[in-house]
Amino acid sequence: MVDEPSRISTWTLRVVVYGGAVTGFALSAAAIVVDDAPLWWVLVGAPLAVCCGLLVFVWLRFRLRHRSPESRPRAVEAMAARRDTVGRPLERSRIAQRATRHKKAVLAAGVPTTAVVQFLASAHRASQFRHLVYLELEVVRPDGARYLVKTGEYLDASSAGSVAPGRVLQVKVDPVDPDRVAVDWERSLRLT
């Protein structure tokens, strides 16, 4: 649940925002009407009117959409959840793009092992006939220990249909940095 702010702080905030909007509009209007009005009336009034006016508009819009007091906390929680998920696709795309930089070196010098696909998502980037995907893999070390790695791979038509959560892939792990993992598609596709 979202914590309810105290009544004093809520009303103080409302007075400041409404007062700022009214003051801003009054100063802007006075600067237009009065001959030889000081320049600071416009320089202070216009930003106050715009900023506080927008806050009042957003608050009124929210209150009109969510009229009952019971629906407001749920609406605030839903907005917070949406805000938290907005950056995830961009973050996944960056992780996937960074991971592909070391793929050739890891495939050449990496230690072979297996990994299970835990999560798969598009990274919204493509290169000719290949599509970049973000992968979360549970890597199984040769000693049996397991750990989660976030990586990225370019998939072509032959490998795209065979990758899904739960799928076991043959991978190579960088001996220096175990978070660098590259899928050995040639060996992985032979398993299907």
The model's pTM is: 0.54
Predicted pLDDT of residue 71: 80
Position 24 pLDDT exceeds 60: yes
Query: What mean pLDDT is reported for the chain?
Result: 83
Which whole number is the average pLDDT over 122-140?
81
Question: Do residue 174 and residue 116 come from a single domain?
Answer: yes
- Cβ atoms of 159 and 79 within 8 Å: the answer is no
Which whole number is the average pLDDT over 175-192?
81
Predicted pLDDT of residue 77: 80
Structural domain containing residue 38: 7-86
12 falls in which pLDDT band (50, 70, 90)?
confident
Residue 1 lies in a domain: no
Question: Do residue 81 and residue 15 come from a single domain?
Answer: yes
Question: Do residue 65 and residue 116 come from a single domain?
Answer: no
Residue at token pair 């919204």: 124
Exposure string of 170-186, with b = 16+ CB inside 10 Å and e = fewer, is bbbbbeeeeebbbbbbe
In this structure, how many other beta carbons lie within 10 angstroms of the beta carbon of residue 58? 10
Question: Do residue 34 and residue 115 come from a single domain?
Answer: no
Question: Do residue 134 and residue 48 come from a single domain?
Answer: no
Question: Do residue 25 and residue 104 come from a single domain?
Answer: no
Predicted pLDDT of residue 113: 92
Question: Do residue 94 and residue 41 come from a single domain?
Answer: no
Residue 174 lies in a domain: yes
- What CATH number should be reported for the domain holding residue 182? 2.40.50
Sheet holding 181-183, edge to edge: 146-155, 130-140, 111-127, 168-173, 181-183
Position 87 pLDDT exceeds 70: no
Distance CA 100, CA 10 (A): 50
Judged by DSSP in three states, 33 sits in: helix
Residue 43: C-alpha distances to residues 57, 106, 165 (Å)? 22, 59, 58
Count the domains in the chain. 2
Question: Do residue 180 and residue 107 come from a single domain?
Answer: yes
Residue 2 lies in a domain: no
83 falls in which pLDDT band (50, 70, 90)?
low
- Where is the domain boundary, 47, 63, 86? 86
Question: Do residue 97 and residue 186 come from a single domain?
Answer: yes
Position 103 pLDDT exceeds 50: yes
In DSSP terms, 113 is beta-bridged to: 171
